[in-house]
Structure 1
Amino acid sequence: MTIEKVSIVGMGSLGLIFGSFLMDKLGRENVEFVMDEKRLKRYSGVERHINGKKYDFKLVSENEKDSPADLIIFAVKSTGLEDAVEIVRNKVSDDTIIISLLNGITSEEIIGEALGKEKVIYTIAEGMDPIRTGHNLDYTKMGQVRIGIDKEIEEKKERLETVLEMFDRTGFPYKLEEDVMRRLWSKFMLNVGVNQVLMIYEGNYDTIQKPGPARDLMIDAMKEVITLAEKENIKITEADIDYYVSLIDSLNPEGMPSMRYDGIHKIKSEVEIFAGTVLKYGKKHGVPTPINQDIYDRIKEIESKY
Structure 2
Amino acid sequence: MKIKRIALIGLGAMGVFFAPRLYEAFGENFYIIAGGERKKRLESRGVTINGVNYRFPIVTPEEQGEPADLILIGVKGYGFAQAIEDIRHQVGEHTLILSLLNGVDSEEQLIQAFGEEHVLYAYMRMSIVMKDGKADFDPYWGKIHFGENKNDVLSDRVLAVKEVFDHADIPYEIDPDMLKGLWFKYMCNIGENMTCALLGIPFGFFRISDSANWIRDNAMREVAAIAQKKGIDIGEKEIAEQDVTVMTIPPENKPSTLQDLEAEKLTEVEMFAGNVIKMGKELGVPTPINEMFYHGIRVLEEKFTKR
TM-score, normalisation: structure 1 = 0.93
Whether the aligned pair in 1 keeps the contact of 2:4 and 2:29 (CA below 8 Å) is yes
Residue type of the alignment partner of 1:258: S
| Equivalent position to 1:253, from 251, 254, 273 | 251
Residue type of the alignment partner of 2:134: N
Give ranges in structure 1 of 5+ residues lacking alignment.
none
In the TM superposition, residue 247 of structure 1 has moved relative to its aligned partner by 2.3
Q: Name the structure 1 match of 2:23.
A: 23
1:110 aligned onto 2:120: no
Q: After the TM superposition, which parts of structure 1 deviate over 6 Å for at least 4 consecutive aligned residues?
A: none
Q: Name the structure 1 match of 2:60.
A: 61
Whether the aligned pair in 1 keeps the contact of 2:129 and 2:259 (CA below 8 Å) is no
Whether the aligned pair in 2 keeps the contact of 1:37 and 1:62 (CA below 8 Å) is no
Corresponding residue SS for 1:54: strand
Q: Name the structure 2 match of 1:11.
A: 11
1:235, 1:101 → 2: CA distance? 22
2:46, 2:279 → 1: CA distance? 43
Q: Name the structure 2 match of 1:237.
A: 235
Q: Name the structure 2 match of 1:283.
A: 281
Root-mean-square deviation over aligned CA pairs: 1.8
TM-score, normalisation: structure 2 = 0.93
Whether the aligned pair in 2 keeps the contact of 1:276 and 1:296 (CA below 8 Å) is yes
Residue correspondence of structure 1 range 132-281 to structure 2 within 5 A: 132-140=130-138, 141-150=140-149, 157-281=155-279
2:114, 2:83 → 1: CA distance? 11
Q: Name the structure 1 match of 2:99.
A: 100
Whether the aligned pair in 1 keeps the contact of 2:122 and 2:144 (CA below 8 Å) is yes
1:214, 1:22 → 2: CA distance? 38
Deviates more, 1:15-24 or 1:42-51: 42-51
In the TM superposition, residue 107 of structure 1 has moved relative to its aligned partner by 0.8
Corresponding residue SS for 1:243: helix
Residue type of the alignment partner of 2:99: S
Residue type of the alignment partner of 1:248: V
Q: Name the structure 2 match of 1:82.
A: 81
Whether the aligned pair in 2 keeps the contact of 1:193 and 1:217 (CA below 8 Å) is yes
Residue type of the alignment partner of 2:4: E
1:266, 1:136 → 2: CA distance? 17
Corresponding residue SS for 1:38: helix
Whether the aligned pair in 1 keeps the contact of 2:277 and 2:290 (CA below 8 Å) is yes
Residue type of the alignment partner of 1:241: I
Corresponding residue SS for 1:288: coil
2:57, 2:120 → 1: CA distance? 25
In the TM superposition, residue 151 of structure 1 has moved relative to its aligned partner by 5.9
Whether the aligned pair in 2 keeps the contact of 1:8 and 1:75 (CA below 8 Å) is yes
Whether the aligned pair in 1 keeps the contact of 2:43 and 2:55 (CA below 8 Å) is no
Q: Name the structure 1 match of 2:300.
A: 302
Residue type of the alignment partner of 2:50: N
Deviates more, 1:252-261 or 1:91-100: 252-261
Corresponding residue SS for 2:290: helix
2:281, 2:123 → 1: CA distance? 26
- Count matched residues: 302
